[in-house]
Structure 1
Amino acid sequence: MTTTALVTPAAELVARRVPGRSLEAPFYVGEEFFALDIEAVFARSWIFAATEAEVPEPGDYVTVTVGPYSVIVVRDDDEEVRAFHNVCRHRGARILNEPRGSVGTIVCGYHHWTYGVDGRLLHAASQEPGFDPTCFGLRTVQVRAVAGLVFLCLADRPPADFDDFAAQVTPYLAPHRLRHAKVARQVDLIEHANWKLTMENNRECYHCAGHPELQRCYFPLYNFAEGDVPPALRPTYERFLQADAAARAAFESLGLPYAAVEDLVERPTGFRVEREPLDLAGESFTEDGKAAVRRLLADFPTARLGHLGLHLQPNAWFHCAADHAVTFSVIPLAADRTLVRTTWLVHADAEEGVDYDLDALTNVWEVTNEQDAVFVARAQAGIGDPAYVPGPYSPTESQVEDFVRWYINRLSAYLQEGP
């Protein structure tokens, strides 16, 4: 079967994208591209939706909104994570209207059609003889749980590379036992910028001088080649070399995989995973680098294990230390507004006020997120200025280029294949 490529102003902009330079303004400010991003990227990719710790018991649910789509992520009575479109099979009413909660059954508040947490229609009053409830269960959404992280795909035929992604990242994630963690805090931040600016900002540390709290514990050497490290960062680089050698020895002694695995551009489920040292005490994302939680996530013999970093195209990144983990999800709300949801996970039995101080646990990333929100809002304002023209990426922004290439590939595939 042949398909006809869609020829639109958006398609022309996609086709003329110049490698190594930022995207043209319409990609960030135009309503056409916002709608295209939802359909071509978010509705066709595996996206990070939640952690299993957010739905620990049968009947626990969260709702996830992506453009016009609303999805229920729920744990069923067999303790499996399920996902359904949040649309009643009667006349289409939204069923669950809260961001999270717990239910015995899923009941539409309009005409009280009632569904099990497995999606089956259990009750629909006043139907004609012969009505078959098995034909009116909730419409399912593809969902996968990987080492405690929940991913969903809205497409009927999701990208087939997810099994390979899961197989490669599970050995890195599994030692942290995220499936058995609990949520210590979750913070939603609205950034006044396009979602791509949020993701691009995360993919480089060219701007990390603007994160003094993070720079205390995190080596700001992201994507620097040895010969490109500026003089001001040479002392930091020398500390990194010493910490890296010690960290590699520790990882190997514990059998923890640490080598970088990177496939960010060509595959639909682009990702990068690596275990690296942290600065100062080397234990956690705190201002002194010491563990913020006395009870570690798993049975690690030491807290000095740096951090595991995972990036996923198009909407997530993760940091796992020995004592806690932090997940970040990015959801487009409008062409110039983006939801960044940050979730801190700790051992299920860790007690606030006993094993950890909540503010000390979350401070570094909360402050960093707020700083990033300012940076991307400034970028959005500048890109909306008629004087804006795409500028060149520096060598340390190679993963920004990787993200943009991945994004252009996804749009090109959609425009070639059609909806």
Structure 2
Amino acid sequence: MARDGAVAVEELLARRRPGHSLEAPFYTSAEIFERDLALVFGRHWIFVAVEGEVAEPGDYVTVEIGTASIIVVRDDDGGLAAFHNVCRHRGARILSEPAGVVGKLVCPYHQWTYDLDGALLHAEHMGAGFDRACHALKRVHVRSLAGLVHVCLAEEPPADFDAMAAAVTPYLAPHGLAEAKVAASIDLIEEGNWKLTMENNRECYHCATNHPELTVSLFEYGFGFAPDDADADRAAAMAAYERICAEFEARWAREGLPFAEIERLAGCPTGFRTQRLAIDRAGESQTMDTRSACRRLLGALSEPRLGGLSFWTQPNAWHHLMADHAVSFSVIPLAPDRTLLRTKWLVHRDAVEGLDYDVERLTEVWRATNEQDGALVAIGQKGVASPAYEPGPYSPWTEGLVERFVAWYVERLGAGLAADATR
């Protein structure tokens, strides 16, 4: 794919140095960006929505991944379905709104009409020999993981989704996300490559100096700690953190909540990681006072002081689940240097705004944190575009999860290139 003296992506992958950031073209090249869309976002399970957005028959959301537009809809039987948002007549977009409610899927151009299962019901003026059964909407693979909706654009999706589901459903299920509703949703455009957004999320090296709101509730030690850098104060803080973790582990065990870390971030198509983590002070929620932001707890949980469950999936999502609410994040590439970060705050479906929760308080920590992270991604993008940039070393203590994300990306991009080469 080399043009204008550029190095072929295969060569860039082959010479990637473990423990170091990627070379500049991975963050700046339009050609590599297109490969990312085709081979990563086009062939893996991508988190796109939560079930609360499509709770009733006819509820739908649309999602854009590159040039593909996808409809996720609740069908008349109560199941989830996903289709390409392309009429089988002359290709017009069927739905143009990001979300809504429909009885049928009707193309606005010539009124071809589809049932919620994708079957073509009506197509006027097509003649007696026209077979509607041959012109159903093209399906997209869709799976819900305890209320977290994933799609895959590939003809044959990765087969290991079930393995992930088996491992993490016991962690997610107590929070009842499939029965939760979206209390708030915010889209943020970050001025950087999608991999910089993901790398930034996968470490807390930067948290202490950049996230004053987030670190009220979260410990930087939960994401890595360098004991050889510790002075007496930091050593004492680390010891206190370990005591708090032990207290939470005893509480989780009493409540029957799994908490041990499970990590399968590389070596498989559907990489994931989950772990229950302590929350500081009151220990209830990621709020400015660390107390619950919603009086109605999620699922069947009855104890507010349960810390938080962290759940990540490759390539584009992370989630924080607490007793009172959950925060869900999805990343969608828009351009080599532009990325959509979509954040949703979930509460129990029977919680009442103004009575059980206040949206401002519910969202304040992650609204601030996302803005701060967006600024960091932007300066990172400016840096990797400089002729002075060269891949730098990751901290072995605090950036190990960044390395595992990058290793997964290199592995999966290489696998996609190899598969295409054999066709």
Q: What's the TM-score once normalised by structure 2's chain length?
A: 0.96
Which amino acid letter does the alignment assign opposite residue 217 of structure 1? S
Query: Secondary structure of 1:28's partner?
Result: helix
Q: Which runs of 5+ in 2 are unaligned?
A: 1-5
Matching residue of 1:14: 13
State the Cα distance separating 1:58 from its structure 2 match.
Answer: 0.6
In structure 2, distance between residues paired with 1:303 and 1:229: 35
Please state if 1:385 is matched with 2:386: yes
Measure the CA separation in 1 of the matches of 2:346 and 2:23.
38
What's the counterpart of residue 300 of structure 1?
A: 301
**Counterpart AA for 1:142:** H
Distance in 2 (CA, whole Å) between partners of 1:344 and 1:173 is 16
1:153 aligns with 2:152: yes
Q: How big is each residue's C-alpha offset from its partner over 1:215-236, in whole Å with a ceiling of 9 and x where there is no partner?
A: 0100111442573463353343
For 2:371 and 2:236, how far apart are their aligned partners in 1?
Answer: 28
Is 1:215 equivalent to 2:215 in the alignment?
yes
Contact 1:73–1:83 (8 Å) recurs in 2: yes
Measured against aligned partners, the alpha-carbon deviations of 1:341-394 in whole angstroms (never above 9, x if no partner) come to: 000000111111111111111000110000000000000001111111110001
* 3-state SS, counterpart of residue 250 of structure 1: helix
- 1:46-65 aligned within 5 A: 46-65=45-64
Aligned to 2:3: none
State the 1:417 CA deviation. 1.1
Q: CA deviation at 1:332?
A: 0.2
Equivalent-residue separation in structure 1 for 2:193 and 2:23 (angstroms): 13
What amino acid sits opposite 1:239 in the alignment?
A
Equivalence for 1:70: 69
- 1:374 is aligned to 375
Partner of 2:278: 277
1:83-232 correspondence runs (5 A): 83-209=82-208, 210-225=210-225, 227-228=227-228, 230-231=230-231
Secondary structure of the 1:156 match is coil
Instruction: State the alpha-carbon separation in 1 of the partners of residues 407 and 236 from structure 2.
Output: 34
**1:245 Cα deviation from its structure 2 partner:** 1.0
Amino acid at match of 1:218: L
Task: Give the structure-1-normalised TM-score.
Answer: 0.96
Residues 84-115 of structure 1, C-alpha deviations (whole Å, 9 max, x = no match) = 00010011111111111110000111111000
Q: What CA distance in whole angstroms lies between the structure 1 residues aligned with 2:226 and 2:376?
A: 27
SS state of the match for residue 399, structure 2?
A: helix
Which residue does 1:245 correspond to in 2? 246
Does 2:419 correspond to 1:417?
yes
Contact 2:224 2:399 in 1 (8 A): no
What secondary structure, in the 3-state scheme, does the structure 2 residue paired with 1:221 have? helix
8 A contact 1:185–1:343 mirrored in 2: yes
Q: Helix, strand or coil for the counterpart of 1:212?
A: coil
After the TM superposition, which of the residue ranges 247-256 and 198-207 deviates more from structure 2?
Answer: 247-256
Superimposed CA distance per residue, residues 298-331 of structure 1 (whole angstroms, 9 cap, x where no aligned partner)? 2323100000000100000000000000100000
The CA distance in 2 between the partners of 1:305 and 1:230, in whole Å, is 28
**In structure 2, how many angstroms separate the alpha carbons of the residues matched to 1:34 and 1:199?**
15
Q: Name the amino acid aligned to 1:325.
A: A
8 Å contact kept, 2:44–2:269: yes
Counterparts of 1:333 and 1:222 in 2: how far apart (Å)?
31
1:21-41 deviation per Cα after TM superposition (whole angstroms, max 9, x unaligned):
110100001101110000110
Whether 2:406 is the aligned partner of 1:407: answer no
2:332 maps to 331
- Cα distance between partner residues in 2 of 1:95 and 1:186: 24
How many positions carry a matched residue from both structures?
413
What code does the residue aligned with 1:27 have? F
Q: Secondary structure at the residue paired with 1:248?
A: helix
- The letter of the residue matching 1:394 is S
**228-237 vs 62-71, which deviates more?**
228-237
Q: Which amino acid aligns with 2:203?
A: E
Coordinate RMSD, CA, aligned: 1.3
* 8 Å Cα contact 1:204-1:400 kept in structure 2: yes
Provide the rounded CA distance (Å) in 2 between the counterparts of 1:233 and 1:387: 35
User: 1:352 aligns to what SS in structure 2?
Assistant: coil
**1:312-331 maps to which residues of 2 (within 5 A)?**
312-331=313-332
Is the contact made by 2:227 and 2:235 (CA closer than 8 Å) also made in structure 1?
A: no
Query: Aligned pair 1:265/2:261, yes or no?
Result: no
Shift of 1:243: 1.5
8 Å contact kept, 1:308–1:320: yes
2: CA distance between counterparts of 1:229 and 1:350? 45
Contact 1:229–1:237 (CA<8 Å) still a contact in 2?
A: no
* Aligned equivalents of 1:233, 1:375: Cα separation in 2: 25
> What is the alpha-carbon distance in structure 2 between the residues aligned to residue 230 and residue 151 of structure 1?
41
SS at match of 1:238: helix
Secondary structure at the residue paired with 1:94? coil
Identify if the C-alpha distance between structure 1 residues 370 and 59 changes in structure 2 by more than 3 Å, giving closer, same or farther.
same
User: Conserved in 2, the CA contact under 8 Å of 1:141 and 1:152?
Assistant: yes
The one-letter amino acid of 1:368's match is T
What's the offset of the Cα at 1:15? 1.2
Amino acid at match of 2:275: E
Distance 1:268 1:186 in 2: 29
Q: 1:260 corresponds to which letter in structure 2?
A: E
Unaligned runs of 5+ in 1: 1-6
CA contact (8 A) 1:162 1:269 kept: yes
